[in-house]
Amino acid sequence: MLDKFDKIAAHKYYWFALVALALVLEALALFYQYGLNYYPCVLCIHVRIWVVFIFFIALLALKLKQHRYGLFTVHALMSICWAGMLERSYMLLGIERGFVEGSCNMQSGLPAWFALDKWFPLVFEVQEACGYTPELLFGITMAEALIVISFMLFVLSLVLMFRVSFALFFKKSH
């Protein structure tokens, strides 16, 4: 079983799958925004930003997957991204369901040096206050789907990162 994780960790199809997943998630978000008029809140924008990071790290991984330290680095970065997306998804679901106190404002909270909402407003501009997310399929809301996806991929990413670190730091290279 652990050998399968070792193979997945450096396999190009794993990284291509993450690139494809990121593109699908962004495309779905934009479809719901522009096709179905469900406008994004600040937490939705933060999730989109994490998805963009995931996309670029997966692309970087396709270049670095043959280098042991590079592979460890991209798995560590990917784990951070999935953790960030999981936290934002949890907040989104919490506000939707009422188990997280607080509200969202109409500001992205991004610093001036990283003003994605100003540079790419069609994708990253906050247009609505938090409160609910649209239903996708079978009564599952976007927040529910995001938390499940981000949790599963966070756990997978951690497992792969630890497998790569084990191979890097504890196995003797021949």
Domains in the chain and their CATH numbers?
34-168 (1.20.1550)
Please report which residue ranges of 65-141 form alpha helices under DSSP H. Answer: 68-97, 116-119, 121-124
Tens-digit pLDDT profile for residues 124-167: 888 888 877 888 889 888 999 999 999 999 999 998 888 877 76
DSSP at 120? -
Top pLDDT among 65 and 112 is at: 112
CA atoms within 13 A on the CB side of 109: 9
The region, left, alpha or beta by phi > 0 then psi within -120 to 50, assigned to residue 149 is alpha
Full-model pTM: 0.87
Q: Which amino acid is at 30?
A: L
Separation between Cα atoms, residue 58 and residue 53, nearest integer Å: 8
Q: What is the pLDDT of residue 174?
A: 41
pLDDT bin (cut points 50, 70, 90) of residue 112 is confident
